[in-house]
């Protein structure tokens, strides 16, 4: 990996929609939203899908929607759509069935415009919480955590990305590792709920952008009028100075934004935190050997 900044401005689209119990209908919706996004002018070069876009977000249901990667129908569909439309896709996340031991993971797969897989991220931090008088949710009841930070390059876009899923954003180390390894864009498919979303969604998005002086792409499912898990929505793009460039509401919609090629360089030049860190006092987390794209 050699690129740090964008060689040219990048058009992105964040696809915010909700998934129901019918997997086939969910995948049809993916196809329709991608088609709609690509009819926009200017045409997006990168599409980002939400967390759990082909299944309900329910720990007791993940196994019913899980697929092997890359042979599963969802991965094959996204590969086909990327290639047919000459577009890069950050594939939100799906329940992944590990063929070696049958374990389940919450996994995001990234495709280049040739339909080739360039990265796979398994959610590292599982959402296990219990708030008295509030909500209880335990992903570890059905999922296993990933064990690697994910940093990757899409050659056709010519920049480096970092990738996390939802709860991963609460842990700044993943974004710091990506930034220290040259990433100018951090993407987080996520499904904060209507309690944690209003409290934290925007704060974490802006914090990770300012911490690392990079763009942050946050793509959420829409709120589901038919019940079930209710996502916060509010998919957004934040620039390297912490400015929100675009933010949706909670309904199904698409967010479009232009990531300008000079913003990352400008932010890092004006306030050069990347060369001012004191590794004589604290460790450099980017030295962690468990970093991978695939």
Catalogue the active-site residues.
Answer: 51, 123, 166
List the one residue out of 142, 99, 145, 143 whose CA is nearest residue 122: 145
Three-state secondary structure call for residue 87: coil
In angstroms, the CA 252 to CA 244 distance is 19
Hey, what are 50's tokens?
């939400």
| Non-local CB neighbours of 43 within 8 Å, separated by 6+ positions | 11
| Non-local CB neighbours of 5 within 8 Å, separated by 6+ positions | 159, 184, 261, 262, 264, 265
Q: What is the distance, to the nearest Å, from the Cα of residue 43 to the centroid of all Cα atoms in its chain?
A: 20
């Amino acid at each position: 990996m050699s690129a740090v900044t964008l060689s040219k401005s990048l058009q992105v689209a964040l696809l915010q929609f909700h998934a129901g119990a019918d997997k086939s209908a969910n995948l049809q919706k993916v196809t329709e939203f991608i088609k709609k996004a690509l009819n926009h002018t200017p045409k997006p070069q990168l599409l980002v899908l939400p967390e759990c876009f082909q299944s309900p977000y329910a720990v007791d249901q993940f196994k019913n929607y899980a697929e092997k990667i890359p042979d599963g129908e969802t991965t094959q569909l996204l590969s086909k759509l990327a290639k047919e439309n000459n577009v890069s896709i950050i594939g939100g996340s799906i329940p992944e069935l590990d063929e070696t031991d049958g374990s389940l993971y919450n996994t995001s797969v990234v495709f280049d415009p040739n339909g080739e897989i360039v990265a796979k991220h398994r959610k590292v931090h599982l959402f296990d919480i219990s708030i008295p008088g509030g909500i209880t949710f335990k992903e570890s009841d059905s999922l296993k955590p990933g064990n690697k930070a994910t940093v990757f390059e899409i050659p056709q876009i010519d920049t480096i990305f970092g990738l996390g899923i939802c709860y991963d954003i609460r842990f700044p180390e993943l974004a710091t590792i990506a930034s220290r390894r040259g990433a100018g864009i951090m993407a987080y498919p996520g499904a904060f709920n209507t309690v944690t979303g209003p409290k934290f969604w925007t704060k974490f998005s802006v914090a990770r952008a300012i911490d690392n002086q990079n763009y942050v792409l946050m793509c959420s499912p829409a709120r589901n009028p038919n019940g079930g898990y209710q996502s916060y929505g509010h998919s957004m793009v934040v620039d390297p100075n912490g400015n929100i460039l675009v933010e949706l509401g909670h309904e199904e919609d698409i967010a479009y934004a232009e990531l300008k090629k000079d913003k990352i360089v400008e932010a890092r030049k004006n306030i050069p935190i990347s060369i001012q860190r004191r590794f004589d006092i604290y460790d450099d987390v980017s030295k962690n050997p468990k970093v991978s794209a695939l």
